[in-house]
Structure 1
Amino acid sequence: MNAHPTPKSRALRYSLAALSAALLVACAVPPASTASARADSAALDAAISGPQRADKARARDDYRHPKETLTFFDIAPSQSVLEIAPGGGWYTDILAPYLRDHGKLFEAQYDSPNAGLAAEEQSGRASFAHRLAAAPAVYGNVTIGTLRDGRFSGFPADGSVDRVLTFRNIHNWIKDGQIDANLRAFYAALKPGGILGVEEHRAAPGTSLQQIIDSGYVTEAYVIEHARAAGFELAGESEVNANPRDTKNYPHGVWSLPPTYEGGDLDRARYAAIGESDRMTLRFVKPAH
């Protein structure tokens, strides 16, 4: 004959049942941070696969790894992001829809002091602005400004930005003598703890400054040295955009490779097989103190 459970044993049984149920719920519902990360990842996937991106742009994904690169730079949809010298808008087409609802995207068109490029740059800026204005549903939360002589105009850049991003631009600033002024401007634009994300064609260690200017390939040591001089700390390095097939010794420098093919049809198949350049991907932080 079974003994009747005592009030104490019944209370213990109920407590154990409640604990088991709580554990089951905890296992079934992911932590808020995990759920948020999954939602951010899905939103980034949607931006990368969105119809605003042309097929020609998508063809570069295998070389530029946009999801892995932006994830390495710790981009989130609620941030304010400043992209430098967007060119035709390859990354803009991803960042704009990703940040549209909860964040903010600033685009700083680089105004080179090279007078010979003035007409070309003006045409490119006008085309970029027209394309963004024609699709407000995608680009309605984008503000276009200018970077000239290490100073921004067109939007506030005084310690209020979460991320500054630059893709394959540093070699131009070295040639123009603007690299240090620009890096100081990026530092000033960022919040304490903000991140500067750099992707750049990577030269072999020991490459001279003149070779850097002529070839478009920059040494990692050069970038790190000048970023540190501007106040940044190196916070991470990624090989996501590395290309070991790139020998970096071509008649037209990095511009021999796709997508530029500056040599025309000469050795085009060889350069196509190499693909886009070997690139460093570096993450710098503005110290929080």
Structure 2
Amino acid sequence: MRILKPFLLPLIFAASLPMATVQAAPADVPAAVAAPGRPGEAVALDESRKPVEVLKFLGLEQDDRALDLFTGTAAPFTRVGYYAEIIGRAVGPKGAVVAWEPANLLDDAGKKNFADLIARVPNVHLISSTAADLTLDPASFDFVLMHLVYHDTYWENEEFQFPRMDPHAFLAKIFAATKPGGIVGVVDHVAAPGGDTRAVVRKLHRIDPAVLRADFARAGFKLEAESDLLRNPDDDHSKLSLDPAIRGKTDRFIYRFRKPR
């Protein structure tokens, strides 16, 4: 699948204030979430995922060029482009979303599902590759989202033909593709501290927040803020995040990282 080139966004000039900085407006996430035409299975996830509050906290803005990593094209892991569709609507026609899905997880049904999404929201664009072959133009994204997926950079699975990834090499690509001052938002399932990260991910599909913070710091990102919006003290971190008893109700952390200017 062709890798998209950066979009040329129009320059905005303030004639009467030539030295002023134009402040971008917040993305209209409430309207995006309320938009008619969203699939019912996506709407059903809104209560547990709280996309309006999450994207407000993360700082999504109108006209942003966004990257949605592990966007989702099929069950059992996630719903098709859940956040790609919301972000595409919210950033407006001058913004855009590049949605990446690992090639081994993208089958014909997934392609059809995503074609339907793009028909609804034309400023969303799907790309697919292995993690090793992922190619992104430098400094091309204002906003990057990793929703319930960073732990998968430590996952490998023969059944799903999901090869071992190098989390540090992957984050280096994301750092290079993020604009200076750009945001990377991360939501993930909390794992108890300690233990081998790959073993924990393989068993529970969770990650120790301290491991994630260390990985992002090593890549060069700065942790700007965190939110307890999706925290759940009743989750003891012992169950697989996909277990029906806890799915949609896991203890989840939200981090807003920024690439230094």
TM-score when normalising by structure 2: 0.78
Which of these residues, 181, 185, 200, is aligned with residue 211 of structure 1?
200
Cα distance in 1 between the residues matched to 2:92 and 2:55: 16
Q: How does 1:106-117 map to 2 (within 5 A)?
A: 106-111=98-103
Shift of 1:187: 0.2
In the alignment, does 2:79 pair up with 1:90? no
Cα distance in 1 between the residues matched to 2:58 and 2:129: 21
Question: In 2 relative to 1, CA 127–277 (structure 1 residues): closer, same or farther, beyond 3 Å?
Answer: farther
Alignment partner of 2:106: what SS? helix
In the alignment, does 2:23 pair up with 1:50? no
Q: Which amino acid aligns with 2:241?
A: V
Aligned residue number for residue 177 of structure 1:
165
Alignment partner of 1:152: what SS? coil
Aligned residue number for residue 167 of structure 1:
147
Aligned residue number for residue 285 of structure 1:
258
Structure 1: stretches of 5+ with no match in the other structure: 1-31, 112-117, 262-270
Alignment partner of 2:224: what SS? strand
Aligned residue number for residue 187 of structure 2:
199
Cα distance in 2 between the residues matched to 1:248 and 1:221: 15
Shift of 1:99: 2.1
Question: In 2 relative to 1, CA 248–96 (structure 1 residues): closer, same or farther, beyond 3 Å?
Answer: same
Aligned residue number for residue 20 of structure 1:
none
Higher mean alpha-carbon deviation, 184-193 vs 142-151, is at 142-151
Which protein has the bigger helix share? 1
Cα distance in 2 between the residues matched to 1:227 and 1:124: 34
Alignment partner of 1:127: what SS? helix
Cα distance in 2 between the residues matched to 1:202 and 1:192: 29
Shift of 1:212: 3.1
Shift of 1:207: 4.2
Q: Percent identity over the alignment?
A: 27
Aligned residue number for residue 220 of structure 2:
231
Question: In 2 relative to 1, CA 246–278 (structure 1 residues): closer, same or farther, beyond 3 Å?
Answer: same
Structure 2: stretches of 5+ with no match in the other structure: 1-21, 73-79, 156-163
Aligned Cα root-mean-square deviation (Å): 2.2
Cα distance in 1 between the residues matched to 2:109 and 2:177: 25
Aligned residue number for residue 255 of structure 1:
242
Which of these residues, 233, 243, 260, is aligned with residue 244 of structure 1?
233
Number of residue pairs matched by the alignment: 224
